[in-house]
Amino acid sequence: MPNGDRTIPVPNLAQARQTSSMAHQILVKLKEQGLEETYDEDLAKLCTDLGDLWGAQLSLTDRLGDFLDIETSIDDSWNKLADCLADISSELEHMDWHIQSVKGPIERIAQRAYQSGDQNFC
């Protein structure tokens, strides 16, 4: 598929830092709360997946904005719309992967939190 006038995406380093920071904040919150080391594998997945989902929703918002900003009166508008829809689909697939990945860890850590009840865990 020829590139045409479609721009090559540039990595958004600021967003990558924000996503990493969000994952780290989740980690710190649960470790400060007292989550045991036996949950470290689940915690790693939870932090990564939730951080990436948070970042992906920012990207999805940007992609939807790009889609809505396309001038429908230009000759190539259908191709531009298709490109934006493909980008949105890719973002949704990325989000779905993380949603599926986080289900087990989030349920196990939530169960642990409920079990702690009176110990001020969450």
- The DSSP result for the chain, as a single string, is ---TTPPPPPP-HHHHHHHHHHHHHHHHHHHHHT--GGGHHHHHHHHHHHHHHHHHHHHHHHHHHHHHHS-TTSTTHHHHHHHHHHHHHHHHHHHHHHHHHHHHHHHHHHHHHHHHGGG---
In a domain, 25, yes or no: no
Confidence (pLDDT) at 10:
80
Q: What pLDDT, on the 0 to 100 scale, is given for residue 15?
A: 87
Is residue 69, in this structure, part of any structural domain at all? yes
Q: Determine, yes or no, domain membership for 17.
A: no
For residue 6, what pLDDT is reported? 65
Residue 65 lies in a domain: yes
Per the domain annotation, does 113 fall within a domain?
A: yes
Inside any domain, residue 89: yes
pLDDT for the residue numbered 17: 93
In-domain check, residue 61: yes
Is 64 part of a structural domain of the chain?
yes
What's the pLDDT score for residue 118? 53
Domain count, the chain: 1
Q: Per-residue pLDDT for the chain (122 aa), expressed as one digit of tens each?
A: 455 566 677 878 888 899 999 999 999 999 999 999 999 999 999 999 999 999 999 999 999 999 999 988 888 889 999 999 999 999 999 999 999 999 999 999 999 999 987 555 44
Domain residue limits at 76: 50-117
**Phi and psi at residue 9, in whole multiples of 5°?**
-60, 140
The CA dihedral of 58, 64, 65, 66, to the nearest 10 degrees, is: 110
